[in-house]
Structure 1
Amino acid sequence: MIRYIPNALTLLNLLCGCVATIYAVNNNFIAAALFVFLGIFFDFFDGFAARKLNAQSNLGLQLDSLADMVTSGLVPGIVMFKLLEIVESDWGEIDFSTDNYLPIIPLLGLAITLASAYRLANFNIDTEQQTFFKGLPTPANALLILSLPLILEFQNNDVINALILNKWFLIGLTIFSCWILNSNLKLFALKFKDYSFKTNASRYIFLILCIVLLIVLHFAAIPIIILLYLGMSILDNLTTK
C-alpha cells in the first residue's frame, strides 16, 4: 500500500487542477488560485514521498506530468485568457451565435498552456534535469500568472492595477512566460541532498528572502520572487563557472 501513496498525492493534485479549471472558467480567480496552490502543495509532496518511500516509478513520472498539465498548464492559460478578455472587449470575435462568441486575441493566453505541455513532455525525456531545471518549472509559472488576479483583489494599488490591466503588459507576459518555460536557462532546484548551509547556500538564502518578501509585500511578492529565482540562478551559474 505504501507505494501507492505518491500516486494518490499526484491524483489529488490533478483533482485540485480540475476544480481550479471550473472556477477559472467562471471568473472566480480567487478560488481557482486557492486550488492551484493546494495542487502545487500536493505536487511537491508526491515527489518527496516517492523519494522517502523509495516508490519512484515511470508511471509516477508520467502521472505527475499529466496532473501538472492541468493544474500548472491549463489553469494559468485560462486565467490569462480571461484577463485579456476583461481588459479589452473590442478584440474581434468568432460569432457562433448571438449568445455564443469566442474573442480572438485573448486566445493568446492559451499559448501558456501549449508552452507548458511542450515543457512537461520535454522534461520527461530529458535525462539532465536531475539536480537543476532548464527553464522555469510549470508550477512556478502558474504561481506567476495566478498572482495577477490576487494582486488586483487584495493589494489595491492603483499603479500596480493599471499595469496588470494593460493589454500590452499581459501579452508581453504571455510571450515571456512561453519563452522562459522552454528556455535553456539552468535554474537551481529546491532539492536538498543534505541540510548543510555550505552546499545549499543559494537555496537557504532564496527561501529566507521569499519569506521576508511574502510578509512585507503579500501577493505582490510572487512576481518578485520569480525574478529573484531567475536572477539568483544566473548568478549561481556564473559563480559555478
Structure 2
Amino acid sequence: MADAHHSKKQPTSKDFTNYQIAHHGLKGQQGCFKLPAELRNEIYALCLVGPRTIHVTCLPFTNTLNPRAHCVDDKGTSVSVGLAGTLLRTCHEVRDEASPVFYGMNHFSLSEFHMIEPFLGGAGDFVQHIRRITFFCVAASDCRNGMLLLSQAKNLETVTVKTTGICMRPRDMAEALRPLYETMRESSKKREHKEVKEILVLPTDRSLEYWQCVRKLLGDDML
C-alpha cells in the first residue's frame, strides 16, 4: 500500500561506478575524464540530482517534452534552469556516463499519461536505470499501456499510480498493473539482497478495501 513505505537505502552516485567502468572503461583520458569514475559520478550527482520530485511537462498543445521539464521541482520553481539538459548534451561521453546517475537517482512525476511514451522514448536505453516514478492515468487501458512501457525499467523500486476523476474496478486496475507487476516480481527474484526488493506503491486516495481486493487479484504481497 502507498502508506506502507519500506525503509531502503537511497541510491547514491557510488552505485553507478561499476556500471561506468564496465561500459566505458578508461576511455577518453582528457579533461574531466582524467578523474576517477567515482569522483565524476559525484560531480554528475551534484549537477543533476535534486531533493524534490522532478515533474516532467509537455509543451502546450503538443506531445513534445518541455526542454526545461527536467529542471522544475515539485513546487514549480526553477532549479538551475537548463543545467540538466545542457550537461547531458555536452557530448556523447558525458551523456553516456551522466544519464544513469540522472535517471537512477531522481524521482520523476508525469502529470499527464500521454507524456510517458515520449519521456521513456527520450531516455532510450537509460530507462533501465529509472528507480522511482509517479504517473497519473484516467483509464485502465492507459494504465496498462504505461505498465508495458515501464517494464523496460529493470531497476524499478517504486511506482506510484494515481487515478483522477474516473473510478476503476479493482479487477480492471489489477489487470492494468499486471505487466509491470510480473516484470518486477521476476526481477526481484534475481536480486541477491533482500533489502533491494522492488516495491509497487499505489496512491492513498482509495479505500483500504479497494487495494486489498487489487492485491488479492494479483496474488502476491508486492502491493
The alignment's TM-score, normalised by the length of structure 2, stands at 0.28
Which one has the bigger helix percentage?
Answer: 1
